[in-house]
Structure 1
Amino acid sequence: MLNCLYRYKIYVEGNAWSVSEKYILACDSPVLFVTTLFQDILSRALVAGKHYWPINREHICKSIKFAVDWGNEHPAQARLIGEQGSRFVREEMSMDYVYDYMLHLLTEYAKLLWYKPTVPEKAVEICTESMACPARGLHRECMMGSMERHAAGFEPCTLPPPFTEEEAKEIADREAEVLRNVENMEG
């Protein structure tokens, strides 16, 4: 893939949720991840310093320069961060997990509805093939790769319980420590 030809990849959040985070992490390149105030369903388990290199959003240019210089001086460690990020994507961000989560989410959401949804009389069904067939190249490959191939023969996933306050604090403290260490290294 052409977008995987670079030694480093940079991820910066946009104004809305984006799937690019997954594809950027999948390239075996160390990802320079501009810190964010938000987490999504895919990134909650990412660990700064293990799956990506954190970039300080207050000093982006200085932080990126330091990260690249550090990575060039420590190529084996930088490569390991890239490989661990890619492994995380392969093992923890599979489309099966995403579809499982979406089924769970929609099933739970449906329980909250006060009415029974119906298909409008003049609705037109759009199937995956009709959307993917006209696509070409990498666009088609990505669409076909994310296509659901069968309906699940089981109930939606059972999500683990939310983090306890103690667990959430432990995760936040670990993340803060990594960010402090990187900030101290940057000087």
Structure 2
Amino acid sequence: MLPKHKIGMPVFMCRFKIYIEGSSWSVSEKYILACDSMTLMVTPHYYDFFTRGMMPLHHYWPIKMDDKCKSIKFAVEWGNNHEEKVQQIGKAASRFIQEDIKMDNVYDYMFHLLTAYSKLMKYKPTVPENATELCSETMACKSGGLVKQLMDQSTVKGPANVSPCIMQPPYDSQTLNSILHQKANSIKQVEKWEKYYFEQISQKNLVATSFSVMIDGDDRKAVEDVKEKNFFQKDPDE
């Protein structure tokens, strides 16, 4: 784990970071994905506005909710034997957050979202008589340090020089089903690898137990290590 300083704040670079929700939606998802580490994402119940744009095994590693410990153990074992692929997944997630989810795109998304909501309104909103107007500068002034710095960075300084992006039309049924099918297949592939891995571990334990009289502890551990490395030389297709 190597320390890295960014915007005056220490950040620790890890090979893996785990994202798991608490009792409700968690704000930490985008921050974890932006750290260049491969995110071990426990199956979420709640979705952020960008979550469905990510692909398993490309932006993150899927973790089963109902068997988290075994699923995380396998993900770590796989990652430790595929360091280059882990880095690729971590970098892909970071690029997605920093480029696709940059503030300009977020503001455009909010504009289109609020515009669509406004068309559904059945009344004309009015400003209450005793309302107090708050500007973005007033909100930022109450903060300090890094929080104020980041709020200043995200503050709109003036009208945009370009028009908002044009919203792409929704996917047609065939394209949407293809994307969903690809996601489902990626998750199933991980589950197959995981199942095969623990089956091999179980078989090795049986072999080690059978020959425990002939092989002392250190030698048996060495044999198991070799077998485990052989498993990771090539991902099982079945």
Aligned to 2:67: 59
Matching of residues 17-166 of structure 1 within 5 Å:
17-152=25-160, 156-166=164-174
Shift of 1:89: 0.9
The code of the aligned residue for 1:171 comes to I
CA distance in 2 between counterparts of 1:159 and 1:72 reads 41
How many residue pairs are counted as aligned between the two chains? 187
Taking the aligned partners of 1:10 and 1:157, their CA distance within structure 2 comes to: 33
User: What is the deviation of 1:180?
Assistant: 0.9
Distance (Å, rounded) in 1 between the aligned partners of 2:159 and 2:130: 25
Shift, 1:124, TM fit: 1.0
Give the letter aligned to residue 40 of structure 1: D
Cα deviation, 1:29-48, whole Å, max 9, x if unaligned, reads 11111123554321221111
Aligned letter for 2:132? V
Q: 1:142 to 1:116 in 2, by over 3 A?
A: same
TM-score (norm 1): 0.88
Counterpart-to-counterpart distance in 1, 2:161 and 2:152:
21
Q: 2:40–2:62: 8 Å Cα contact kept in structure 1? A: yes
- For residue 153 of structure 1, report the CA deviation from its aligned partner: 5.8
Q: What are structure 1's unaligned runs of at least 5 residues? A: none
What are the Cα deviations for residues 43-94 of structure 1, in whole angstroms up to 9, with x where unaligned?
2211110111111112111111111111111111101110111011111111
Question: CA offset at residue 103 of structure 1?
Answer: 0.8
Which amino acid letter does the alignment assign opposite residue 164 of structure 1? Answer: D
What is the letter of the counterpart of residue 36 of structure 2?
Answer: D
Residue type matched to 1:93 in 2?
Answer: I
Q: Measured at CA, do residues 164 and 131 of structure 1 come closer, stay the same or move farther in structure 2, by a change above 3 Å?
A: same
Correspondence for 2:176 among 168, 172, 183: 168
C-alpha displacement of 1:138: 3.2
SS at match of 1:41: coil
User: Cα offset for 1:155?
Assistant: 5.5
Q: How far apart, CA to CA, are the structure 1 residues paired with 2:105 and 2:187?
A: 29
Counterpart amino acid of residue 100 in structure 1: D
- In the alignment, the residues of structure 2 paired with residue 4 and residue 93 of structure 1 have an alpha-carbon distance, to the nearest angstrom, of 22
What TM-score results when the alignment is normalised by the length of structure 2? 0.71
Does structure 2 retain, via aligned residues, the 8 Å contact 1:10–1:33? yes
Change (3 A) 1:13 1:74: same
**Residue pair 1:22, 1:93 contacting (<8 A) in 2 also:** no
**Which protein, 1 or 2, shows the higher relative CO under an 8 Å CA cutoff with sep ≥ 6?**
1
